[in-house]
Amino acid sequence: MKKILVIFNLCLFFYAACACAKNYPVFSVHKLESGRHGNTVLVIGGIQGDEPGGFNAASLLVTHYNIRKGNVWVVPNLNFISIIKRSRGVYGDMNRKFAALQNSDPEFSIIKKIKELIIDDQVDLVLNLHDGSGFYRHAYIDRMHNPGRWGQSIIIDQEEIHTEHHGNIGEIARGIASDINRHLYSMEHAFHVKNTRTCKGDLEMAKTLTYFAICNEKPAFGLETSKSFPTAKRSYYHLRMLEAFMDIAGIEYDRHFQLSARGVKRAINDNIKFALYDSRIFLDVGNARERLGYMPFKKDSEVEFVPSNPLVAMVSSGNSYRVFHGNRRLTRIYPEYFEYDLSIDTITMQIDGSEKIINFGQIVDVNDSFLVVPQKDYRVNVIGYKKKGVANESGINICKNDIQKRFSVDKRGRIFRVEVYREKKFTGMVLVSFDSKPATITASKPWKLSQAEHSHVSDIR
């Protein structure tokens, strides 16, 4: 029998909430703190929503790294509405709003909040992650390799600033580039340092996040990987740079995957899940079907949405909810509304002949068959299983082939919903997985959505 996997473990994530235009999810702050004295590095991803290499790398810091010394603060989703909409900036380029901004701008409160974070006394180093066009070179080579390109570069605004630590910006950037260039997939991918010399009259760069940081005596760097690469390879190079900067800052850390383009791709896709209503409903949506129907949402209640990582979002749309991971739309959920019965939190199941107590909000690995042990007054509905004359599917030994594949949560037809009801009230859900791959989820704080306004997604609480 395979291991029964408990889904939720608490993590010490801190969310910064701010108003966001049209009530899309807003950015989150994750303070990964070791408890040991050291520098604090602030990492920002997603300032431009069409640059997934940066925001996926930042998200992986949150979900797949453990900080053992010093602190890493991560904002992986600064411009969340633009990430979801695959736009550089729904309300204009957010990275040109740091010099001056009218309070009528839809993103005014976001800029205010991130500025407060940048100038926090604890922050020692600021890293802003981007994906840029082509390959930066100091001299013109061809259309894709020239000084006008931004990809594969470390951006600095000036050579140095007068701070106690890390003020030698140019020297640090060149050292990082040299380090990263020992880990390239091709010599064409080599990194170079691009000094915009902002204070010499570059009016565009004077509006950016990094120059705002520099002006407030915070060492800051723009990290650019090439848009010529697929997302995983961009994120690989970002993580190479991030680890080199953490080494410079004396941050000690553990990484829970192999640092390669292939390893990064697996890590990005291996934990895309969420729970609703205090884990009464749990869904693995990494490979979800395009449509998930008749989901038992709580009647006359806000929706508490708890994602497995900070790029997972659920946005209401008419009579349904769209689920995203970054700028990828994963599925659309069509709810059916029920009153909830909270009288029990567990059910008893026989998994491949072995009896176990299962909490709602778990995913259970099954080799051959499962059975929900009957419980008085409670009815079981295995979505996709149908037997004539049977209204309660508890007490029935069910194999994978007994369930219609088209009702699975995933496209491969291996993960199925087991729902429990008391009379007409919904009690809870368990997922059963006829798959050898283990599943885990890390809980963060809930995002609340109002059922009363289907076009509304409230701030992170």
- What is residue 15's predicted lDDT score, i.e. its pLDDT? 33
Is the pLDDT at 413 greater than 70, yes or no?
yes
What is the rounded average pLDDT of the residues 76-83? 98
**Residue type at 272 in one-letter notation:** I
What's the CATH superfamily of 34-269? Zn peptidases (3.40.630.10)
How many other CB atoms sit within 10 Å of the CB of residue 9? 9
Q: Is 451 helix (H, G, I), strand (E, B) or coil?
A: coil
The closest alpha carbon to 25, from 282, 311, 393, belongs to 311
In the chain, which segments carry CATH 3.40.630.10?
34-269
Q: Is 395 left (phi over 0), alpha (psi -120 to 50) or beta?
A: left
**pLDDT tops 70 at residue 5:** no
* Mean pLDDT for all residues in the chain: 90
Q: Residue 2: is its pLDDT beyond 70? A: no
Three-class secondary structure of residue 376 per DSSP: coil
Rounded to 5 degrees, what angle do the CA atoms 349, 353, 359 make? Answer: 20
330 pLDDT higher than 60: yes
pLDDT digits (tens, 9 = 90+) for 270-326: 889 999 999 999 999 999 999 999 999 999 998 888 999 999 999 999 999 999 999
Tokens matching residue 384: 């996709």
Averaged pLDDT, 357-385: 97
Q: In the structure encoding, which two tokens stand for residue 321, read together?
A: 């909810």
This prediction's pTM: 0.89
Tens of pLDDT, residue by residue over 163-187, are: 989 999 999 999 999 999 999 999 9
pLDDT recorded at residue 348:
98
Q: What is the DSSP string of 128-161?
A: EEEEESSEE-SS--BTTEETT--SSEEEESSS--
Residue 452 has pLDDT above 50, yes or no: no
